Structures are given as C-alpha cells and as structure tokens.
Amino acid sequence: MIVDFFNKLTFSRKFFVAGFIFGMAFPIMALGIRYIQNDFAEMIAALMSDPLMWIIASAPMILGLTGTLIADIMIKIFHEHFSSMVSISGQLNGAITSFVSERELKYGAVENSAQAMANINSKVEIAAQSAARTYNIAAAAVKESKSGIEASHAIELSMQEILDFSKQIVSIINLIDTIAFQTNILAINAAIESARAGDHGKGFAVVAMEIRDLAQKSSKSANQIQTIVKTTERKVIENNELVVNHHNNLKAINTKILDLTKDVENISQMNSDLREHINEANHEMSSMVRGNDRDIENIERVKEISEKIVNAANSLDKIN
C-alpha cells in the first residue's frame, strides 16, 4: 500500500517526502539516543532553550520545502527544454516524413523513367532488327537488279547481233533477187534465140522457159523472205527498244535501291547510336535508383531515431 501510494506521487512530492524523511532521521536518532541515556527531559529543555536545536528540529520541513522548490524549478526547466525538444523533434519528424514522401515520389518517377527507357530501348531494338532485315532485302534486291541489268544488256547485244544478221540476210536476198532478175533476162534472151533457130532451138526454148520460171519463183521467194526479214528486223528493233528501256529502268531501280540501302544503313547506325545512348541512360537511371534506395534507407533510419527521440521526450515530459 505504501509503495503504491509512493509510486502515484509526482516527482516533486516524492522528492519532498524523501527530504522530509531524511531530515527527520537526525532528530529522531538524537531523541532516541537521549531517551536511551535518560536525558530525554534534558533534550526537551535544550530544544526549548537552544535555537540550533530548533533549526535541527525544523530541518526536515526546511529540507522538504527546499527540495520541493528545487524539484519544481528543475521540472520546470526540464519541462521547457523537453517541450522544445518535443516540438523540434516533431518538426524534424514531420520534415523527414515529408522529405521521404517527396523522395519516394521522385523515386517512383525515376523508376517510371527507367521503365519508359527500357520500353524505348525494346522498340529501338525491334526497329534495328527491322532495319537489318530491310537492309538484307535491299542488298538482295541490288544483287538481283544487277543480274537483271546484265541479262538485259546481254539481250540487247543479242538483239543487235540479230539485226546485224538480218541485214546480212537482206543483202544476200538482194543478191539472190538480182541473180534471179538477170537469170530471167537471160532466159528471155535464150527463148528469143531459140525461136530464131527454129526447130533446132525448140528444146533449148523449153529449158529457157523452165529457167525463167525458176528465176521468177526465186525472185518471188526472195521478195517474200525479204518481207519476212524486214518484219523480223522491225520487231527486233522494237524489242531492242523495249530491252533498252527495261535496261534503263533496271539501272534507275538499282540506283534507288542503292540509295535505300544507304538510308537503311544510316538508320541502322543511328539506331545503334541511340541504343548505346539509351543503355548509358539506363545505367545512369540504375545508379540513381540505387542512390535513392540508399538515401531512403538512411532517411528511414534518421526518421526512426527521430521518433525515438520524440517518444523519449514525451516520456520525460510526463514526469511532473
């Protein structure tokens, strides 16, 4: 019961009770000694006549009051300082909490930026792969177009050779036509001479007529062949023009494909440079994220210490 009662007292009252008990111990001990020595009456008389004994007797009260005053002053000072400490700790805790919140927001923004950079890097990688495939296709197209140009050039040469052969055939046909014409004239002259010879020239006249018929047929066939050759020559010239146009078109296509190949190569190089820059940015982002992790961890420790200070200050503030 006494212990519970003492525990319920404030610090100043505990100090007063302790001082009172401590101060009462000396006169009680003195009275006890006098009582044992049968000098109790003398001590009472001395107490009544000696001021020092009055001071000794009143010492417990003086000590209790002095202790109470000192305790109140100390508690007031402690209360003021710890109230300031509580306020400052609370402000510090609030500032740290706000800073942690802002840091977490920035950390989230950095993480989002890192994720966005990763997405961009993925898309750039896809674009680089597409550019590489396009470059391979363009290179294959350049190779095929070169083959087409070479083939069209070979066809053009073949057409030119055909034209040359056609001209030679026309020359030969003209020669055959001339020979047939001369043969026809000779046959006519032979027929005239055989007619003059009378009966002796009849057999020769028949031969001359046959030669004339053959000459006319040869001339007719030569004319037909010449017509066919000229038609063929015209077709060859037309086809040669088509081949030349096709050859020029293939050259133009080849030039465009070469330009496209250069553009794709430049795009691939730019994608490679961009991917390198993105990787560097991702490295910096990762460093920032790791730095933010360390900062937040340190700030959390400071916040925890600040909360402990606040709790300790609140506990000390309750002592009164």
Q: Are 66 and 18 in contact (CB under 8 A)?
A: no
Query: Which of 165, 169, 176 has the alpha carbon at shortest distance from 220?
Result: 176
SS (H, E, C) the chain: CHHHHHHHCCHHHHHHHHHHHHHHHHHHHHHHHHHHCCCHHHHHHHHHHCHHHHHHHHHHHHHHHHHHHHHHHHHHHHHHHHHHHHHHHHHHHHHHHHHHHHHHHHHHHHHHHHHHHHHHHHHHHHHHHHHHHHHHHHHHHHHHHHHHHHHHHHHHHHHHHHHHHHHHHHHHHHHHHHHHHHHHHHHHHHHHHHHHHHHHHHHHHHHHHHHHHHHHHHHHHHHHHHHHHHHHHHHHHHHHHHHHHHHHHHHHHHHHHHHHHHHHHHHHHHHHHHHHHHHHHHHHHHHHHHHHHHHHHHHHHHHHHHHHHHHHHHHHHCCC
Q: Tokens 């014409």 label which residue? A: 181
CB count within 10 Å of CB 137 equals 14
pLDDT in tens, 69-120: 565 666 566 556 556 655 666 666 666 666 666 666 666 666 676 677 677 7
Over residues 244-274, the pLDDT tens digits come to 787 788 788 878 878 877 877 787 777 777 7
Q: Of the candidates 12, 23, 31, which has an alpha carbon nearest to the alpha carbon of residue 60?
A: 23
**Residue 67: C-alpha distances to residues 13, 63, 75, 316 (Å):** 9, 6, 12, 19
Share of the chain above pLDDT 70, in %: 55
Q: Quote the pTM value.
A: 0.44
User: Are residues 100 and 303 in contact, defined by beta-carbon separation less than 8 angstroms?
Assistant: yes
Q: How confident is the model at residue 37 (pLDDT cuts 50, 70, 90)?
A: low
Q: What is the pLDDT of residue 64?
A: 54
202 burial via Cβ count (<10 Å: 0-12, 13-18, 19+): exposed
Question: 2-317 belongs to which homologous superfamily?
Answer: Methyl-accepting chemotaxis protein (1.10.287.950)
Question: What pLDDT sits at residue 94?
Answer: 66
Name residues whose C-beta falls within 8 Å of residue 163's C-beta, 6 or more positions apart in sequence. Answer: 233, 236, 237, 240
Which residues lie below 8 Å from residue 264, measured CB to CB, with a gap of 6+? 131, 134, 135, 138
Q: Which residues of 271-303 are buried (b: 16+ CB within 10 A; e: fewer)?
A: beeebeebeeebeebeebeeebeeebeebeeeb
Q: Give the separation between CA 128 and CA 265, rounded to whole angstroms.
A: 10
Query: In terms of Cα–Cα distance, which of 176, 169, 164, 276 is closest to 219?
Result: 176
Count the Cβ atoms, other than its own, within 10 Å of residue 253: 16
pLDDT value of position 253 = 80
Q: So what's the pLDDT on residue 291? A: 67
Q: For residues 51-61, give the mean pLDDT.
A: 53
Mean pLDDT of the chain: 70
Dist. CA 307–CA 114, nearest whole Å: 33
